[in-house]
Every structure is written in C-alpha cells, then in structure tokens.
Amino acid sequence: MGDNTDPESDPETQLGMQKVSRHVQQHLQDVRAALVSWCLKTATHDFPFSSFTSAVILSDPILTSIASNRCLASIHDLATLLPVKWVFLERYGDEILTLVRRMDDKDRERRETKKLAEQEAKHFEFEHRAAEKAAGIEKNRCSRLVHHAKENCIIPGMDWYVFEEAA
C-alpha cells in the first residue's frame, strides 16, 4: 500500500469542521478494483447466458461514485449520492455497501497498525537516546571519580614521588 502523506489521505483528519468524505490514493484504487471484481463475478454468476457485459450491472459513473465516496452507509445514501439512477440498487445495494465497508475496515486497520508501529519506533528511539545519555553521564561520572582518586590516592612507598611532584 502507498504511503499517504497529505492531510486528505487520512479520512480521520479533520479539515476545518468537516471530515474528509472521499477514498483517496491506494485505498481508492483498492476499492475500485474490488468493485470491478465483484461486478464481474456477479455478472457471470447471476447472468451467465446474458448478452450484456458487467458494465450494465455497475456502470462506470456509478462505480466511480461508489468507489470514491466514503460517506455511503445505507441504501438511501446510495440512491441520493449516485449521479444516475441505478436499476440494481435494491438488488445489490446492501452487498455493495458491505463490500465497501469491509474494504474501509481493512484500510483503517492497516493505518492503525502503521500508526502503532510508528509510535513504537519513536518510543524505541526515545529510549535509545535516553540510554545513550545515561551511559554518557555514567562515563563522565566514572571519569571524574578516577581523576579524583588519582589526585587523592597515596600509594605506599610512593610518598616521595608525590612530594617531589608537589615541590
């Protein structure tokens, strides 16, 4: 799946006061492909000896409207938002809505998984930087202790060395 970097790519993003109501980018392509596949299967299953093509079941303007619109929740929404009257609305409307909802759920789950992975990566990076900082602080502390010990340490038999250096 492609990365969605612009605000419109995330349907949960608020633009002003209104939520984005369109499928975009890879998800739009996935929904459209699923609808085309459904249309072909439905035509071969329900109309095996018919001379018309699958485009009669779901014409391109209707398919495009359904694929791109994220706000379809009921048969009434379909009837209201489609650019032309769809004669198969009563027969296939619920099936189409279920298919689109399933695709939306998969996309939402994919985006949530990606978001969680990004949060975990940020958390790991934060923990790593904190550990590096703590290690640096400990190294400095040990270095100061060693330096302090060298300055204040009297080694038996080496007293004359310390005095000569001081003089």
Range of the domain at 63: 7-121
Q: Domain count for the chain, please give it.
A: 1
Note whether residue 145 is domain-resident: no
pLDDT tens over the chain, length 167 residues:
444 444 444 444 433 333 446 666 788 899 999 999 999 999 999 998 888 888 889 999 999 889 888 888 899 988 888 888 889 999 999 999 999 999 999 988 988 999 999 999 999 999 999 999 988 898 888 888 887 777 776 656 555 554 455 54
pTM of the predicted model over 0.75: no
pLDDT of residue 102: 93
- Whether residue 2 is contained in a domain is answered as no
Q: How big is the CA angle at 33 (ends 10 and 92), to the nearest 5 degrees?
A: 100
Question: What pLDDT shows up at residue 4?
Answer: 44
Bridge partners, 155 (sequence order): none
- Please give the pLDDT value at position 144: 84
In a domain, 30, yes or no: yes
Residue showing tokens 């209201």: 80
Q: Has residue 126 been placed in a domain?
A: no
The CA-atom distances, in angstroms, between 157 and each of 43, 134, 146, 152, 164 are: 102, 39, 21, 15, 13
Task: Give a yes or no: residue 47 inside a domain.
Answer: yes
Residue 105 lies in a domain: yes
CATH classification of the domain holding 116: 1.10.150
Residue 85: closest CA among 109, 112, 65, 108: 65
